[in-house]
């Protein structure tokens, strides 16, 4: 499995041939991958803007379908069932579906879990379009649609806080009305519509989102989005999804299970897999619940303030936006001890004083996940992960070396590793330096 992520797209397609079950399936896969733009680092979602299914929602933290296809074809055995404990936008699941491989996926964020399931479900494009058009013709805004959901940030809609709000009243009430009407659709159609509505929320808001939170667009006050802006972008999203569903309507649906919940516990419900391919959250203090908060609130996944806190508690301890409780230390590694010691010494220079503990908890959580993988994967089988380093106050967190040491006594050894790309460190995290993103191939002894 030497540097398999360095292959050209043509090689990826050729190498995948032995994984597919029929000439038709191989042709479908080739057509699908051909929409990927090759210039991008394979561990990022760049280059996937035109890839059917992947283009339904711009999930910045995704890896590419090429990465999954390259990994599967580099294995010394033919995988029949693949696991991804951190499903995200479902890249592993969708690529497996294209290859006729079964998958088991875990995802804690209910909006993302719906996104994954929507991509996997064989829905009739014509029926979905008919239901959507009917629904639009019947939309009624009710007086209560203006109200904030209990616990929702008051900035979500007008009047907002200090004159600032994320959605104009027109967009906000229309989203609420579409959502209410969608509950009358058949479950698979309702889920697909929710996901597509989620994909057009940010572009119809007054903010942009990145790892550091929300930022108001320049001049947002004078360019409020309207209900017709929202419907027009939703129409485009429905066109795109129905095109993809039509193009792949003959794809066998295969066996794909999405486990909704925290991988640290939900993996107990996965019995066996031939390989695990995943990218966990990085220890970079990126809070997924926060970044996807607009979708979670507006689409009804969060119904109260405590729901938001519960979901954050279920995410991997890779950020300091929560006050984490002390738990038993599971990760043991010389490199980790050295890093934690350096971080504690620099505590007063860190942008948050709890960073040293968060880093320790992060590796404890990954050890818990690998504890499950030890049971799920048979000896000689593999866990392949893409993960990035971090840096705080000039102290480098060498995730690859630390993880390698932490999971050695669980019987996992690294048989292949290499840098996939370098990433710029954010100024908040100590500035300037380039950080590596690695591919690590662990083999279960």
Ligand X SMILES: C[S@@+](CC[C@H](N)C(=O)[O-])C[C@H]1O[C@@H](n2cnc3c(N)ncnc32)[C@H](O)[C@@H]1O
Residues in the site for ligand X, rule: CB under 6 A? 59, 61-63, 86, 88-89, 91, 106-109, 112, 262-264, 279, 281, 288, 314-316
Relative orientation angle of helices 169-182 and 227-247, to the nearest 10 degrees: 40
Could you tell me which residues are beta bridge partners of residue 104? 83, 257
Mutual angle of helices 65-74 and 23-33, in 10-degree steps: 140
Residue closer to ligand X (CB basis): 100 or 281: 281
Cα–Cα distance measured from residue 144 to residue 161, given in angstroms and rounded to the nearest whole number: 20
Rounded Cα distance between 141 and 135, Å, is 13
Could you tell me whether strands 412-424 and 395-397 are parallel, antiparallel, or unpaired per DSSP bridges? unpaired
How far is residue 443's CA from residue 371's CA, in Å, rounded to a whole number?
14
State the residue number with the nearest CB to ligand X: 88
Q: Which is nearer to ligand X, 81 or 264 (CB)?
A: 264
The smaller minimum CB distance to ligand X, of residues 70 and 262, is found at: 262
| C-beta closer to ligand X: residue 43 or 333 | 43
What secondary structure does DSSP assign to 52-83, as a single string? TTGGGS--TT---HHHHHHHHHHSSS--SEEE
Helix ranges (H only) for 346-439 are 355-376, 399-408
Closest distance of CB 278 from ligand X, Å: 6
Nearest distance, CB of residue 255 and ligand X, angstroms: 20
Nearest distance from residue 179's CB to ligand X, in Å? Answer: 22
3-state secondary structure at position 322? coil
C-alpha distances (whole Å) from 188 to each of 97, 128, 236, 244, 259 are: 18, 9, 19, 16, 17
Smaller CB separation from ligand X, 171 or 296: 296
Distant-in-sequence, close-in-space partners of 122: CB < 8 Å, separation ≥ 6: 249, 251, 253
Q: How many CA atoms lie less than 13 Å away from 101 in the CB half-sphere?
A: 33
Closest distance of CB 121 from ligand X, Å: 17
Reduce the DSSP state of residue 424 to 3 states and report it: strand
Question: Are residues 262 and 110 in contact, defined by beta-carbon separation less than 8 angstroms?
Answer: no
- Our CB check for ligand X shows the closer of 75 and 185 to be 75
Output the smallest distance, CB 88 to ligand X, in A: 3
Q: Which is nearer to ligand X, 176 or 214 (CB)?
A: 214
Whole-number minimum distance, CB 106 to ligand X, in Å? 5
Residue 88 token pair: 């995200």
CB of 422 to ligand X, least distance (A): 17
Q: CA 199, CA 213: separation in Å to the nearest integer?
A: 18
User: How near is the Cβ of 84 to ligand X at its closest, in Å?
Assistant: 7
- For 50, 179, 245, the CA distances from 240, given in Å and listed in that order, are 10, 20, 9
Radius of gyration of the chain (CA): 22
Query: Residue 177 or residue 376: which is nearer to ligand X going by CB?
Result: 376
- Looking at the Cβ atoms of 120 and 178, the one nearer to ligand X is 120
Return the closest-CA partner of residue 180 out of 142, 227, 229.
Answer: 142
Minimum CB separation of residue 58 from ligand X in Å reads 11
Q: State the nearest-atom distance from the C-beta of 387 to ligand X, in Å.
A: 9
Nearer to ligand X, 53 or 288 (CB): 288
């Amino acid at each position: 499995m030497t540097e398999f992520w360095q292959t050209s797209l043509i090689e990826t397609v050729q190498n995948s041939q032995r994984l597919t079950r029929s000439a038709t399936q191989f042709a479908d896969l080739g057509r699908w991958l051909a929409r990927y733009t090759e210039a991008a680092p394979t561990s990022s979602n760049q280059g996937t803007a035109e890839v059917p299914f992947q283009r339904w929602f711009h999930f910045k933290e995704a890896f590419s379908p090429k990465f999954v296809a390259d990994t599967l074809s580099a294995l010394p055995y033919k995988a029949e069932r693949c696991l991804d404990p951190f499903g995200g936008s479902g890249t592993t699941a969708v690529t497996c579906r294209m290859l006729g491989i079964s998958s088991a996926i875990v995802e804690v964020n209910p909006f993302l879990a719906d996104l994954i399931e929507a991509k996997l479900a064989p829905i009739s494009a014509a029926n979905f379009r008919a239901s959507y058009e009917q629904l639009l013709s019947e939309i009624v805004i009710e007086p209560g649609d203006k109200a904030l959901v209990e616990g929702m940030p008051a900035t979500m809609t007008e009047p907002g806080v200090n004159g600032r709000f994320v959605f104009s009243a027109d967009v906000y009430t229309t989203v609420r009305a579409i959502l209410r009407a969608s509950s009358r659709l058949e479950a698979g159609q309702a889920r697909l519509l929710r996901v597509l509505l989620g994909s057009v929320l940010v572009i119809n808001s007054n903010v942009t989102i990145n790892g550091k939170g929300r930022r108001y667009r320049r001049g947002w006050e004078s360019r409020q989005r309207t209900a017709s802006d929202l419907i027009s972008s939703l129409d485009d999203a429905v066109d795109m999804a129905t095109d993809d569903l039509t193009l792949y309507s003959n794809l066998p649906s295969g066996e794909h299970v999405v486990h909704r919940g925290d991988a640290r516990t939900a993996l107990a419900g996965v019995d066996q897999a031939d390989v695990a391919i995943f990218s966990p959250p990085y220890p970079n203090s990126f809070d997924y619940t926060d970044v996807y908060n607009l979708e979670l609130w507006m689409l009804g996944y969060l119904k109260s303030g405590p729901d938001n806190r519960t979901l954050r508690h279920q995410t991997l301890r890779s950020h300091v936006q929560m006050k984490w409780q002390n738990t038993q230390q599971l990760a043991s590694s010389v490199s980790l001890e050295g890093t934690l010691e350096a971080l504690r010494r620099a505590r007063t220079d860190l942008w948050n004083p709890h960073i040293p503990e968060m880093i320790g908890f992060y590796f404890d959580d990954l050890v818990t996940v690998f504890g499950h993988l030890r049971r799920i994967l048979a000896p000689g089988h593999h866990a392949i992960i893409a993960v990035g380093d971090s840096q705080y106050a000039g102290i480098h967190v060498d995730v690859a070396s630390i993880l390698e040491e932490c999971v050695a006594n669980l019987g996992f050894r690294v048989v292949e590793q290499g840098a996939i790309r370098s990433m710029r460190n954010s100024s908040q995290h100590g500035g300037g330096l380039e950080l590596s993103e690695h591919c690590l191939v662990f083999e279960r002894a």
